[in-house]
Amino acid sequence: MTASSATAAPVIPSRSELTPLSVEAVALRAGFWDERQRLNTAVIIPHAAGWMDRLGWIANLRHAGTAEGYEHTGREFADSEIYKLMEAISWDTARGVDEHGELFEELLAAVEGAQDPDGYLHTLFGRPWQRPRYSDFQWGHELYCFGHLIQSAVAHHRATGEDRFLRVAIRVADHVCTMFGPDGLDRVCGHAEIEVALVELFRATGERRYLDQASVFVERRGTGTLPLFEFGKAYWQDDLPVREATVLRGHAVRALYLAAGAVDVAVDTGDDELLRALIEQWDNTVARRTYLTGGMGSHHMDEAYGDDFVLPPDRSYCETCAGVASIMFSWRLLLATGEAKYADLIERTLYNVIATSPSEDGTAFFYANTLHQRTEHTPPPLNEDGVVIRGGASGRQAWYEVSCCPPNVARTLASLGSYIATGTASAIQIHQFAAAEIRTEGTALVVETEYPSTGTIRVTAAEASDDGVAVSLRVPAWSKGGVLEHRDETIPVDGGAYTPSVVLRAGESLTLELPLDVRVTVPDDRIDAIRGTVAFERGPEVFALESVDLPDGVALEDVRVSSEAAYDGETVTVAATSVRREDADWPFGVDGAESVSTFRARLVRYHRWAERGPSLMRVWIPTAS
């Protein structure tokens, strides 16, 4: 594979307040995210590829164009998981990491061979022994799979400059425009995804029909093209037109993918009315339907948002894919508006959803991310292939029958550099803090930090023009008392905004100091499920109480805490009380404690819970009366 001189980034709007940088422009250095990006390349990608091969998902593609009567394996969307993995490999390639080039070529050859002459490409439908094409818009996921294929092909094109995969995607997209254009089938897919893909293909090729088709799909939502369903039409966002909705609802991943695609359409068509509607949806969803971790989705049965302030911690679903999709939505709004609040949510989601899903060794993943584990994880039901049937709160697992989350994590980690910083004609904005080298034309910035362990972020201009380079940094909304130091000046900076731009000439530095005191967080009292509890945060990290850290004889449900908390450089500890009550015949009106004991409770970073074996856990802890 050859490197491309074109910008290699997941999102490249035709107009925006901020300009994304290429994946290769931001090279992570030793630290929190570099460790995870390296783990992704070394373990997560080959782990995922191994399972896809073992389960026959890759064979679906190999056989689709050649074998008569082959038996498809996996779910309707199995093709899409391969495309997400190919996207991850493409972003690695853009960064100069070519460890999986041979695997990519094998997969691409299989994809090419599976494509029908008219551009259609799905391994479950359309052959004489299979169901007809487009016979199941609710669950067939045909357009959904097309979307992930197109996104992957655009990533590969941007990473390498090669058109081979892109040509496959163009044939798919042309087929979609023919079949679903204004004069074609008046339908949408039960799972949004094609929208973001078509806009990015327009940006890569300049072919306007792809943008127009994405706009058609966005405008069709809410017009009743999908049938009534037991979870309601909101499940697939077919209850209201996108412009009329004021909050995200229904299946969380579907809602977020659609919102991201709608932002793309609004930005590239100049539709400010649509963009304002999506900003309102983001605001209301974050204010009323988002967990402390940044996770979204409080229903297990339908993987969906609950009503406003329905955020039970022990029933939190917070699917990892919803975290990925939330970042996609927020990133697009950040580029469009330049507002720090979107980067704040991205940071929260990265540390407390994306970083939480994979195990430390990269071979197991949370599908759902609960905030309260009441019982020890027990081995979940497995299908005949030995994989987990449903991705609920069953601990990190090696693979799932629906394994959308591991390859979604893989493509996010591989492209993580593109979310660190943006540029304008004369300035660089740093949104996420990681040790890194940021290179743009004529400029090289070196970011030194041990964040989030410490709050010191030092930026040095290793290279700059004679006029220097203007740099601004996001100050997280949670930050109080931060300061920006440059030359002999110390400037107080407020949370929830960006620092004033500082011009650095070659060899000059600035330092942002963010106090990382432990914060005691109190929930909105409209969240019934956690009234009377508190949570503990430090910097972007949420902390949790895990049963393995409790004294012998102390049960998780008996623990009460005060607001006294301390950080010793590694661990947060809080003053805690164990109140053990006698069992009663009736769990109401019970009073009188059997025993009371006090101790210091150790809290773990939420993204590292369940690494020491089966345990109970809670983020929101009742307060001592």
* pLDDT tens digits for range 358-371: 999 999 999 999 99
Shared domain for 41 and 154, answered yes or no, is yes
Note whether residue 13 is domain-resident. no
**Burial class (CB within 10 angstroms; exposed 0-12, middle 13-18, buried 19+) of 612:** exposed
Shared domain for 415 and 428, answered yes or no, is no
In this structure, which amino acid lies at residue 439? R
* pLDDT tens digits for range 309-324: 999 999 999 999 999 9
Kindly tell me if the per-residue pLDDT of 436 is higher than 70: yes
Distance CA 236, CA 262 (A): 15
By the 8 A CB rule, do 297 and 318 touch?
A: yes
* pLDDT tens digits for range 273-301: 999 999 999 999 999 999 999 999 999 99
What is the pLDDT at residue 393?
60
Note whether residue 4 is domain-resident. no
Residue with tokens 């899903």: 357
| One-letter-per-residue 3-state SS of 370-438 | CCEECCCCCCCCECCCCCECCCCCCCCECCECCCCHHHHHHHHHHCHHHHCEEECCCEEEECCCCCEEE
- pLDDT-based confidence at residue 595 (cuts at 50, 70, 90): confident
Domain count, the chain: 3
Kindly tell me if the per-residue pLDDT of 346 is higher than 70: yes
**Burial class (CB within 10 angstroms; exposed 0-12, middle 13-18, buried 19+) of 251:** buried
Shared domain for 79 and 127, answered yes or no, is yes
Shared domain for 406 and 551, answered yes or no, is no
Residue with tokens 């074609």: 184
What is the pLDDT at residue 4?
36
Residue 178 CB neighbours (<10 A): 15
Mean per-residue pLDDT of the chain: 95
Note whether residue 163 is domain-resident. yes
- pLDDT-based confidence at residue 5 (cuts at 50, 70, 90): very low
Shared domain for 371 and 483, answered yes or no, is no
* pLDDT tens digits for range 355-409: 999 999 999 999 999 999 999 877 788 888 889 988 766 689 999 999 999 999 9
Shared domain for 429 and 467, answered yes or no, is yes
What is the pLDDT at residue 580?
85
Shared domain for 393 and 248, answered yes or no, is yes
Note whether residue 559 is domain-resident. yes
Note whether residue 6 is domain-resident. no
CA distances from 255 to 260, 281, 334, 535, 600 (A): 9, 10, 18, 28, 42
Per cent of the chain over pLDDT 90 is 89
Distance CA 222, CA 206 (A): 29
* pLDDT tens digits for range 23-54: 999 999 999 999 999 999 999 999 999 999 99
Shared domain for 370 and 426, answered yes or no, is no
Tell how strand 427-430 and strand 469-475 pair up.
Answer: parallel
Domain containing residue 530: 518-622
Distance CA 19, CA 11 (A): 10
By the 8 A CB rule, do 119 and 174 touch?
A: yes
Note whether residue 3 is domain-resident. no
What is the pLDDT at residue 3?
34
Kindly tell me if the per-residue pLDDT of 157 is higher than 90: yes
Distance CA 148, CA 191 (A): 12
Shared domain for 359 and 228, answered yes or no, is yes
Residues 4, 5, 8, 14, CA torsion sign:
negative
Distance CA 53, CA 60 (A): 10
- pLDDT-based confidence at residue 592 (cuts at 50, 70, 90): low
Over residues 166-176, the mean pLDDT reads: 98
* pLDDT tens digits for range 515-530: 999 999 999 999 999 9
Q: What angle do CA 521, 480, 606 make, to 5 degrees?
A: 40
* pLDDT tens digits for range 72-83: 999 999 999 999
Note whether residue 437 is domain-resident. yes
Over residues 240-253, the mean pLDDT reads: 98
Kindly tell me if the per-residue pLDDT of 1 is higher than 90: no
Distance CA 471, CA 585 (A): 65
- pLDDT-based confidence at residue 180 (cuts at 50, 70, 90): very high
Shared domain for 551 and 582, answered yes or no, is yes
Note whether residue 14 is domain-resident. no
Asked if residue 227 has a cis previous peptide bond (ω within 30° of 0), the answer is: no
Residue 552 CB neighbours (<10 A): 4
By the 8 A CB rule, do 560 and 624 touch?
A: yes
What is the pLDDT at residue 2?
32
User: End of a domain among 402, 419, 436?
Assistant: 419
- pLDDT-based confidence at residue 93 (cuts at 50, 70, 90): very high
User: End of a domain among 513, 536, 561?
Assistant: 513
* pLDDT tens digits for range 451-507: 999 999 999 999 999 999 999 999 999 999 999 999 999 999 999 999 999 999 999
Per cent of the chain over pLDDT 70 is 98
Shared domain for 127 and 141, answered yes or no, is yes
What is the pLDDT at residue 424?
80
* pLDDT tens digits for range 328-340: 999 999 999 999 9
Name the helix (H) or strand (E) containing 37.
Answer: helix 32-39
What is the pLDDT at residue 6?
56
User: End of a domain among 513, 543, 561?
Assistant: 513
Tell how strand 621-622 and strand 533-538 pair up.
Answer: antiparallel
Kindly tell me if the per-residue pLDDT of 112 is higher than 80: yes
Shared domain for 119 and 202, answered yes or no, is yes
With CA atoms as reference, report the closest residue to 19 among 443, 440, 460. 440
